[in-house]
Amino acid sequence: MDLVNHLNDRLLFAIPKKGRLYQKAIEILKGSDINFHRSQRLDIALSTNLPIALIFLPAADIPMFVGEGKCDLGITGIDQVREANIDVEALMDLKFGSCKLQVQVPANGPYTKPEELIGKTIVSSFTNLTRAYFAQLEGVPESQMSTRVKFVGGSVEASCALGIADAIVDLVESGETMRAAGLTDIATVLDTSAHLIQSKHPKGDLTLIKTIKSRIEGVLTAQRYVYCTYNAPKDRLSEILVVTPGRKAPTISNINDDGWVAVCAMIEKSKKGLVMDELKSKGATDIIVFDISNCRV
Ligand SMILES: Nc1ncnc2c1ncn2[C@@H]1O[C@H](COP(=O)(O)OP(=O)(O)OP(=O)(O)O)[C@@H](O)[C@H]1O
Ligand SMILES: O=P(O)(O)OC[C@H]1O[C@H](OP(=O)(O)OP(=O)(O)O)[C@H](O)[C@@H]1O
């Protein structure tokens, strides 16, 4: 099938084609019921249930495609958006791909503060952000800065050991790569995570964009919350409800026992242990927690 000829009447949605963001981005699409079949080695996939075409691109190229309006929506790291210095709308923090862009130096070397690197050589894949950071540190425009910034596309962490850099600016999540290369961090240039981004001048159907956004919000909410239900004695209800206020308010239903009601509320997954302990200690019984597979909020 000539896929390119099927793109005109579809909303183009840019997705990272590989790397750290790929798997989680695919999970978001699945959770949002955006079904598609991607043929091997093809970077375009037509959704089978919505007028959407998924365009698989390197994470670093997505800001440009969305910024220039070639794609209406995209998923990429906010680091890539800032590095590309392209004007797009950051619609939503997707809460994955979280890491820091950091200044790193040899752990047993002479540098302990970024100011000590002024006039030295820094290697990074994020040369624009690195230049901007050191120009600001020097207090001069980039055209006048003395710090040299060189580009390396990958394995940036090897640059100091190989003698091409005094320091690097690279992403750190667990810190394993940094420590394995004998480096330590001395400053943070940027905190980043994956975002849903939108063109400032979308060409596609605005209602569809709104629907996609609401579905993705639903996926994120379903990941963050669980559904909690329990029975509560009426005479302690007010103190028990404080524990599970719900997103809007808890649902309270009568049950076939005059002294009791059933309560349902969404609670934060990360707090469920504490919430269940507290409910029990205040007299609630039959406390059950369910995962939420999907929701709209
Ligand atoms: N260790 C990490 N932890 C979390 N997020 C990361 C990490 N490394 C990168 N990211 C995020 O993923 C984005 C893409 O990085 P990645 O290293 O996957 O790039 P890539 O060049 O597309 O893939 P590859 O490294 O496989 O060539 C980064 O811009 C950042 O937002
Ligand atoms: O702090 P950590 O958990 O070790 O993660 C940091 C590493 O992850 C990224 O690289 P990636 O592994 O994606 O490969 P790359 O160097 O080819 O980009 C990043 O560039 C760091 O090297």
**Residue 5: pLDDT over 70:** no
Alpha carbons 15 and 43: distance in angstroms, whole number: 9
- Ligand 1 atom nearest the C-alpha of 80 is 29
For the chain, the domains span 3-95+193-222, 100-192, 225-291
Residues 6+ apart with CB under 8 A from 67: 84, 86, 87, 88, 199, 200
Say what the pLDDT of residue 7 is.
84
Fold: same for 3-95+193-222 and 100-192: yes
Looking at the domain covering 3-95+193-222, what would its CATH class be?
Answer: alpha beta
Distance of alpha carbon 45 from alpha carbon 52, whole angstroms:
9
Q: pLDDT grade, residue 1 (50/70/90)?
A: low
Nearest-CA neighbor of 193 among 218, 155, 167, 220? 220
pLDDT at 92 over 70: yes
Q: How many CB atoms lie within 10 A of CB 260?
A: 18
Q: Give pLDDT tens digits for 98-150.
A: 999 999 999 999 999 999 999 999 999 999 999 999 999 999 999 999 999 99
Residue 83 pLDDT more than 60? yes
Is the pLDDT at 94 greater than 60? The verdict is: yes
What is the number of the ligand closest to the CA of 181? Answer: 2
185 CA from centroid of ligand 2 (Å): 14
Q: Determine the average pLDDT of the residues in 198-222.
A: 95
Residues in contact with ligand 2 (CB, 6 Å cut-off) = 19-20, 154-155, 157, 170-178
CATH topology of domain 100-192: D-Maltodextrin-Binding Protein; domain 2 (3.40.190)
Between vectors from CA 294 to CA 213 and to CA 196, what angle results, nearest 5°? 25
Q: What is the pLDDT of residues 257-296, one digit of tens each?
A: 999 999 999 999 999 999 999 999 999 999 999 999 989 8
pLDDT band at 3 (very low <50, low <70, confident <90, very high): low
Least reliable range by pLDDT among 40-44, 94-98, 167-171, 235-239: 40-44
What number is the average pLDDT over the span 68-85?
Answer: 97
33: Cβ contacts below 8 Å, ≥ 6 apart: 49, 215, 294
Residue 39 binned pLDDT confidence (cut-offs 50, 70, 90): confident
Q: What is the ipTM of this complex?
A: 0.95
| Confidence grade of residue 4 (pLDDT, cut at 50, 70, 90) | low
CA gap 234, 284 in Å, rounded: 10
Is it the case that residue 8 has pLDDT exceeding 90?
Answer: no
Say yes or no: CB of residue 77 within 6 Å of ligand 1.
Answer: yes
Q: Quick one: pLDDT band at residue 41, thresholds 50, 70, 90?
A: confident
CA-wise closest residue to 208 among 36, 11, 65, 9? 11
Two tokens, residue 199: 């063109």
Rounded to two decimals, the pTM is: 0.91
Output Rg (C-alpha) for the chain, integer angstroms: 25
DSSP string, 198-244: E-SS--S-HHHHHHHHHHHHHHHHHHHEEEEEEEEEGGGHHHHHTT-
Residue nearest to atom 21 of ligand 1 (CA): 19
pLDDT above 70: residue 231: yes
- As given in the structure block, the two tokens for residue 137 are 């540190």
CATH of domain 225-291: 3.30.70.120
Give just the sign of the alpha carbon dihedral 99, 103, 107, 113: negative
Going by alpha carbons, the residue nearest to atom 2 of ligand 1 is 173
Measured distance CA(139)–CA(133) in Å, rounded: 10
Ligand 2 centroid distance, CA of 71 (Å): 27
| % of residues, the chain, pLDDT over 70 | 98
> How many helices (H) does the chain have, and how many strands (E)?
8, 15
79 lines ligand 1 (CB under 6 A): yes
Maximum C-alpha span of the chain: 79
Q: Which residue has the tokens 């940036």?
A: 156
Give the residue whose CA is nearest to atom 9 of ligand 1.
Answer: 20
Tens of pLDDT, residues 140-183 = 999 999 999 999 999 999 999 999 999 999 999 999 999 999 99
Whose alpha carbon is nearest atom 17 of ligand 2? 154
Residue 20 CA: which ligand is closest?
1
CA-CA distance, 107 to 186, in Å (whole number)? Answer: 10
Task: Report yes or no: 35 and 20 within 8 Å, Cβ to Cβ.
Answer: no
